[in-house]
């Protein structure tokens, strides 16, 4: 059985990440596991933390039919990437919170650059509780924007999410063609969706989507990460970082992959 994984600091319970991952696990009928990261190789520390987290899991299991499990590990992010490929993990979830191992989203973006599956960031202080009945899919002119289609499509199919395509205001035909490609996939499964015209072009549409998410009442935004980091990204932050900072709901991030078939659409 494939598992959705919540990556957690051993000394912090990521409530919003758990709630978000639980909704995926319920809809996709998969298990949910916690990878509990402890910066210690001392056996007594590990055993103590395992007992503490197992007690949490036992309490949570009383409230859900989704099989829950946990593993206390002393593992770095690159090892998680290898693990996801070996176990065919569908998605990772992180909660960004101060005074935890996962307090720097920019560093995580860099460390997760080679990850071949989506990853979701939540915040511990989000205004909206994770709810995935509506999702926001900003689409611009880059070819990798179409990579959002299969993941949002599956959310429509298995989670019953209503999809809002947030179309960048661009000149030319690339963005409309991308939108039509995405709609074509949705139509194959008779999904419920709408198209909203953004005020920003492709360079700002994801940030704008993050800003309007609360007003639109959406439970998640899908964002593509940068192919490469230029000088502006290093000085002022990447587009994915700006999107996450403005988001009031969980954000699913998708790394561009040149080997994906969607690039041939």
Q: What is the pLDDT of residue 135?
A: 97
Indicate the average pLDDT of the chain. Answer: 91
Cα dihedral angle (130, 135, 137, 138), rounded to 10 degrees?
A: -70
DSSP strands (E only) in the chain:
3-9, 31-37, 68-73, 92-96, 119-123, 134-139, 162-167, 193-197, 220-224, 251-254
Let me know how many helices (H) and strands (E) the chain has, helices first. Answer: 9, 10
pLDDT value, residue 128: 58
Cα separation values, 104 from 88, 92, 219, Å: 26, 16, 22
Query: Among 153, 104, 125, which residue's Cα sits nearest to residue 254?
Result: 153
Condensed to tens digits (0 to 9), the pLDDT of residues 126-147 reads 865 667 999 999 999 999 999 9
Confidence at residue 84, expressed as pLDDT on a 0 to 100 scale: 86
Q: What is the pLDDT of residue 259?
A: 61
Tokens of 60: 């949570």
Name 254's bridge partners: 224
Q: What local confidence, expressed as pLDDT, does residue 251 receive?
A: 98
Can you give the pLDDT at residue 80? 83
Please tell me the predicted confidence (pLDDT) of residue 13. 97
Nearest to 252 by CA among 122, 141, 159: 122
- Which residue ranges in the chain fall short of pLDDT 50? 261-265
pLDDT for the residue numbered 1: 65
Domains located in the chain, CATH noted: 3-123 (3.40.50.620), 134-264 (3.40.50.620)
- Rounded to the nearest 10 degrees, what angle do helices 205-216 and 239-246 cross at? 10
Q: Which residues are within 8 A (CB) of 28 and not within 5 positions of it... i.e. 6 or more apart?
A: 4, 90, 154, 158, 159
Q: What is the pLDDT of residue 263?
A: 47
37-69 pLDDT per residue, tens: 999 888 899 999 999 999 999 999 999 999 999
pLDDT at residue number 41: 83
Stated pTM of the model: 0.94
| Cβ(157)–Cβ(29) below 8 Å | no
């Amino acid at each position: 059985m494939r598992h959705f994984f919540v990556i957690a600091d051993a000394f912090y319970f990521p409530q919003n990440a758990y709630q978000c991952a639980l909704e995926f696990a319920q809809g996709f009928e998969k298990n949910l596991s916690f990878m509990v990261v402890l910066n210690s190789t001392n056996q007594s520390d590990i055993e103590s933390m395992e007992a503490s987290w197992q007690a949490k899991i036992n309490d949570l299991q009383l409230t859900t039919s989704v099989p829950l499990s946990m593993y206390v590990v002393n593992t770095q992010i690159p090892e998680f990437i290898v693990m996801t490929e070996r176990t065919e993990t569908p998605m990772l979830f992180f909660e960004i919170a101060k005074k935890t191992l996962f307090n720097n989203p920019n560093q995580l973006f860099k460390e997760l650059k080679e990850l071949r599956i989506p990853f979701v960031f939540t915040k511990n202080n989000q205004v909206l509780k994770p709810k995935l009945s509506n999702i926001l899919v900003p689409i611009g002119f880059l070819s990798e924007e179409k990579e959002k289609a299969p993941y949002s499509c599956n959310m429509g199919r298995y989670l019953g999410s209503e999809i809002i395509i947030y179309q960048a205001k661009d000149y030319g035909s690339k963005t409309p063609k991308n939108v039509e490609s995405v709609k074509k996939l949705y139509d194959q499964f008779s999904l419920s969706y709408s198209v909203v015209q953004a005020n920003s072009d492709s360079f700002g549409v994801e940030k704008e989507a993050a800003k309007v998410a609360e007003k639109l009442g959406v439970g998640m935004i899908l964002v593509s990460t940068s192919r490469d980091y230029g000088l502006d990204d290093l000085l002022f932050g990447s587009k994915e970082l700006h999107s996450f900072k403005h988001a009031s709901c969980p954000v699913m991030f998708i790394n561009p992959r040149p080997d994906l078939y969607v690039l041939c659409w």
